[in-house]
Amino acid sequence: MIFLRYESFKGYLRNYPVTAAIASLCIVYYFITAVMGNPGMGSDAYRFGAFYTIADVDPWGLTEPWRYITSIFMHADFGHLFRNMMMLIIFAPPLEYVMKSKRYVWFYLFCGIGGNALSALISNINGDSHLSVGASGAIFGVFGAYFFLAMFRKRLLDAASIQTIYIILGISLITTFVMPAIDVWGHIGGFATGFMLYRFFDQLQLMKLQKKR
């Protein structure tokens, strides 16, 4: 089972530095915003770096493009932070190990950006404004990578890990559509971005193996 962690705290930090750094940034950022205001309120969320689009004015959020990144590290309340950090800390390490930290950090960021971009697209189509925060789009990108592995690279995973991937995906999809105030398209966009990026990474790995042969 690839999702069981046996490392000590120091071992975790040493083996998965990007995941540990992302979790630390999210936690620190949350407490800073919570002390300075209420990140669950629209005005404060915007002030602290939430992703924001305005229909017919800034439909893609490109006036302040840095919000595509800062929003990934923001959370609306402690429960929001806790849920996302639990998923990140438990499920991200095996992917960081496989991809290596330098690739994984870009993978994670692009998944978060992809989630925000799809939310902007759908809001643009609907003529709505959009505001969102949270790491869940990027985390769904991690799930997208695992879905690719479970579907097309089963030999790399044990049966228990494959079953866990499908169960977690099922639960995550249900909560995405059932829980209130969820950025559904952000989750879908992150998942699709993660699936496609990992497919690209997988093709690069196959090409390297073929050259060695």
206 — pLDDT class (breaks 50, 70, 90): confident
Q: Distance between CA atoms of 142 and 190, rounded to whole angstroms?
A: 8
3-class DSSP state of 104: helix
- Catalytically annotated residues: 136, 187
Identify whether 105 is part of a domain.
yes
Residue 69: its pLDDT value, please?
A: 98
Residue 118 lies in a domain: yes
Task: Tell me whether residue 21 is in a domain.
Answer: yes
Structure confidence by residue, pLDDT tens digits, 79-114: 999 999 999 999 999 999 999 999 999 999 999 999
Q: Tens of pLDDT along 16-56?
A: 999 999 999 999 999 999 999 999 999 999 999 999 999 88
pLDDT category at 213 given cuts 50, 70, 90 is low
Number of domains in the chain: 1
Which structural domain range is residue 172 located in? 9-212
pLDDT computed for residue 180 by the predictor: 84
What's the CATH number where 124 sits?
1.20.1540.10
Residue 143 lies in a domain: yes
Do the domain assignments include residue 4?
Answer: no
**1 falls within a domain:** no
Q: Tokens in use for 189?
A: 């966009």
Let me know if residue 3 belongs to a domain. no
Which residue, 205, 23, 14, is CA-closest to 108?
23
> Considering the domain boundaries, does residue 98 fall inside one?
yes
Contact 37, 114 (CB under 8 A): no
Tokens representing 173 are: 């999809």
Residue 77 to residue 33: CA distance in whole angstroms: 10
